[in-house]
Structure 1
Amino acid sequence: MRWLFSRQPVIDFYHPFAESVKLVIEGQAEPWPMRKKRTGHWIYRLRQKTRRELHGRAYHFQVRHNGDTYTIYDPMAYHTKRHEHGLVSYISNIEYKWQKPRFRPPAFRDVVIYETHLPALSRHQSAEVEDESYRGTYAGAKSHKVLDYLKRLQVAVEFLPLHASDNLLGQDWGYFSTSYHAMRNCYALDESQVNREVMELVDAMHSRGIPVLLDVVFNHGGELWVKAWGEDIVYRKHENGDFCHGSGCGPTIRTEHPHIRETIIKTLLHLVKEYRFDGFRFDLGALHDKQTMLEIDRRLPKHVYLIAEPWALGGVQWGKGDLHRDLAETRWAVWNDDFREPGRTFLVGGGDH
């Protein structure tokens, strides 16, 4: 979903092979036919409907293909919930008035990154929160005492994944994203306002001069992507037709596919524009094809930090040596395991000097 001007939401769904697509919104008597563009995208402008009127309504696409009709939920929805029969997409009002709209992070070379699981900032009893119900939530992470502490450390905060995820596979850590425009409901005080609560958290940190980075997992998962576009588009295969499993967590996402590459980049741009994230850390970034890495660097605003893990269990598309070759003229940085591993060995008493 995207929004046109200030009041008109535009529903945008990619399905190049569909014969017809209709938009079905909860509470509407009839489905609305969508118009196909040459790019394979189907769109519908919701005239005379404001964001507030539509907020919280479930919706899906009625797709006709090869004579059959399918129900597909929006892989680009801003809000999703898991029900008995699977994930459901909901329209969400993402308007927010920023208190610190002009915040810009310091130069990357001057940043010390504090990586944290969001609930860990306020779950423990030692964390002072305004209300006990805030523990382990977006609201708890922006409690005054938590922000005071982070401000004293003079760090940038990098959150483990906050995208909607499957707890059955990714547990509480969030490393099995089901889609990438929706945020995790479980940390919200009000699930229907989850997008706003994430924005309020970033805004509060920016007001204290704290840059905010997000860990993104575009290498596996993507349940709603697969249901919408199919495994052949979303997942990478070997020459023999078997799926690549470079992450150890399921098939590897096919970042080299033009639609997947474009979707990843548009998602990142959305996260920068709407949520004001200052940077991204790419989980198992070596599974992303090199052209996608170059395109991300080219198209994201220049103040955005870009960090990748330069490794994977298999099927890597690039390595640390490429920082001196194809990626040399980009802003890409990598997690430095050449320092991390000896440092960890020394700290636990395994070193001899």
Structure 2
Amino acid sequence: MVIDLARTDPEGFQEIQKPEYKVYTDAVIYMLHVRDLSISEDSGIEHKGKFLGLTETGTKGPGGVSTGLDHLVELGITHLHLLPSFDFRSIDETKLAENNFNWGYDPQHFNVPEGSYSTNPYEGEVRIREFKEMVAALHEKDIRVVMDVVYNHTGASGDSDFSKIVPGYYYRMNEDGSFSNGSGTGNETASERSMMRKYIVDSVVYWATEYKVDGFRFDLMALHDIETMKAVREALNEVDPTILIYGEGWTGGDSPLPDKEKALKRNTWRMEGIAAFSDDIRDGIKGHVFTDEDRGFVNGGEALEESIKFGVVASIDHPGVNYQNVKYSKGFWAKEPSQTITYRNCARKPIPSLPGFSRGMNGACVAKHIAV
């Protein structure tokens, strides 16, 4: 479709000021699935599962607890990290009455908002306008918006738009002509190639300028080359130098891209203004994400003190840390504390669910247990 994007702006959208934010280490980031926030029958929110569900105020749940946007404000967060909100492949937008659900890590159209989160997926301008309304509502409550972006792979391989445009160019391929699978999902894009790099850079600039997005979290960031990530930072600095860029400093499988070129966690120090998640302190505190037997400090794991200290100093070079005893990293990987994203919790393994914690243990008990 052809659309005049200016006509999709909510009233006063261009005049809305971004929430003030100057110091990267002051960021309090809250990760959220758009649908999950409001879909509950007792959420008190009219536009359940939609972008507009994040615009409603005065909503209450059982017992009068604040829900939706009001709940986020009460949390005191500075940034709302939205799980993939671009158009993804797994949801049939013509069958929204069915109980469709997906996290969205199967990209279809990188530069289009997801239609199932709009009130009318049949009219393209609706999803654009409602995404902007969501951003405006969050900005008015002093919350910045971070998009989870998944440029490292596509939901389809041989029949993807990239493959139709220039077969084999936008993806890394094996010698036998099959798709390389560093993402673990069937393919991986080739960010080191000039037009793929340009696509990624142009895309984030588009979201930052047209939709006023304030940050980008790169899924499997290590599948991108360092030069592309630097180009992203440079381009976004021209838009707004306070835009956050962070991501996962690992891959989902083997990739032909050499490690020295990957935006790996250990290469973060080479990427100024870009941060990586710290699995050092995450797993040091509560154990391995996928293995219950590999416990963390809070539930009986041993010899993890240096991993905790490494996390406390935000992965930088510090004389108080014995790096040889850090569980994963044997040396610093960040130049500045702002290059480290520290987990407080994790969707895959919340602290109260860990082995060694009693069921029903409340937040206060968890905090006391950690302090001890």
For normalisation by structure 2, the TM-score amounts to 0.65
What is the match of residue 202 of structure 1? Answer: 135
Could you tell me whether the CA contact under 8 Å between 1:235 and 1:243 is conserved in 2?
yes
User: Quick one: percent identity of the two aligned structures?
Assistant: 27
Could you tell me whether the CA contact under 8 Å between 1:202 and 1:276 is conserved in 2?
yes
Q: CA deviation at 1:229?
A: 1.9
Q: CA deviation at 1:196?
A: 0.6
Q: Which residues of 2 match residues 133-148 of structure 1 at below 5 A?
A: 134-144=47-57, 145=59, 146-148=68-70
- Equivalent position to 1:218, from 127, 142, 151: 151
Q: Deviations over 1:188-208 (max 9, x none)?
A: 112221011000000000000
1:221/1:233 Cα in 2 relative to 1: closer, same or farther (>3 Å)?
Answer: same
- Equivalent position to 1:123, from 35, 39, 46: 39
CA RMSD of aligned residues (A): 2.3
What is the match of residue 41 of structure 1? Answer: none
- Equivalent position to 1:180, from 110, 127, 134: 110
1:264/1:208 Cα in 2 relative to 1: closer, same or farther (>3 Å)?
Answer: same
Q: CA deviation at 1:239?
A: 5.0
Partners of 2:203 and 2:268 in 1: how far apart? Answer: 24
Amino acid in the other structure paired with 2:134: L
Q: CA deviation at 1:93?
A: 3.6
- Equivalent position to 1:264, from 176, 180, 200: 200
Report the secondary structure of 1:300's partner residue. helix
What is the match of residue 334 of structure 1? Answer: 276
Partners of 1:201 and 1:344 in 2: how far apart? Answer: 34
Report the secondary structure of 1:213's partner residue. strand
Amino acid in the other structure paired with 1:120: D
Q: CA deviation at 1:269?
A: 0.3
Relative to its length, the structure with more strand (as a share) is 1
Could you tell me whether the CA contact under 8 Å between 1:105 and 1:278 is conserved in 2?
no
Relative to its length, the structure with more helix (as a share) is 2
1:303/1:98 Cα in 2 relative to 1: closer, same or farther (>3 Å)?
Answer: farther
What is the match of residue 308 of structure 1? Answer: 247
Q: CA deviation at 1:173?
A: 1.0
Q: CA deviation at 1:148?
A: 1.5
| Unaligned stretches of 5+ residues in structure 1 | 1-89
Could you tell me whether the CA contact under 8 Å between 1:205 and 1:211 is conserved in 2?
yes
- Equivalent position to 1:162, from 85, 106, 113: 85
Amino acid in the other structure paired with 1:142: T
Matched, 1:91 2:24: no
Partners of 1:215 and 1:187 in 2: how far apart? Answer: 15
1:233/1:318 Cα in 2 relative to 1: closer, same or farther (>3 Å)?
Answer: same
Could you tell me whether the CA contact under 8 Å between 1:105 and 1:211 is conserved in 2?
no
Q: Which residues of 2 match residues 220-259 of structure 1 at below 5 A?
A: 220-221=153-154, 223=156, 224-238=160-174, 241-259=177-195
Partners of 1:105 and 1:214 in 2: how far apart? Answer: 18
Could you tell me whether the CA contact under 8 Å between 1:236 and 1:243 is conserved in 2?
yes
| Unaligned stretches of 5+ residues in structure 2 | 60-67, 93-99, 288-297, 299-350, 358-368
1:276/1:94 Cα in 2 relative to 1: closer, same or farther (>3 Å)?
Answer: same
Q: Deviations over 1:274-313 (max 9, x none)?
A: 1111000000000001110111111113111000100112
Amino acid in the other structure paired with 1:198: F
Amino acid in the other structure paired with 1:280: F
Amino acid in the other structure paired with 1:91: V
1:269/1:143 Cα in 2 relative to 1: closer, same or farther (>3 Å)?
Answer: same
Amino acid in the other structure paired with 1:147: L
1:220/1:171 Cα in 2 relative to 1: closer, same or farther (>3 Å)?
Answer: farther
Q: CA deviation at 1:108?
A: 2.1
Matched, 1:349 2:265: no
Q: Deviations over 1:186-239 (max 9, x none)?
A: 111122210110000000000000111000000110655325423311111245
Point out the more displaced range, 182-191 or 273-282. Answer: 182-191
1:105/1:166 Cα in 2 relative to 1: closer, same or farther (>3 Å)?
Answer: farther
What is the match of residue 285 of structure 1? Answer: 221
1:336/1:98 Cα in 2 relative to 1: closer, same or farther (>3 Å)?
Answer: farther
For normalisation by structure 1, the TM-score amounts to 0.68
Partners of 2:73 and 2:278 in 1: how far apart? Answer: 25
1:185/1:304 Cα in 2 relative to 1: closer, same or farther (>3 Å)?
Answer: same
Matched, 1:294 2:230: yes
Partners of 1:98 and 1:314 in 2: how far apart? Answer: 47
Q: CA deviation at 1:266?
A: 0.5
1:243/1:227 Cα in 2 relative to 1: closer, same or farther (>3 Å)?
Answer: closer
1:239/1:92 Cα in 2 relative to 1: closer, same or farther (>3 Å)?
Answer: same
Amino acid in the other structure paired with 1:205: L
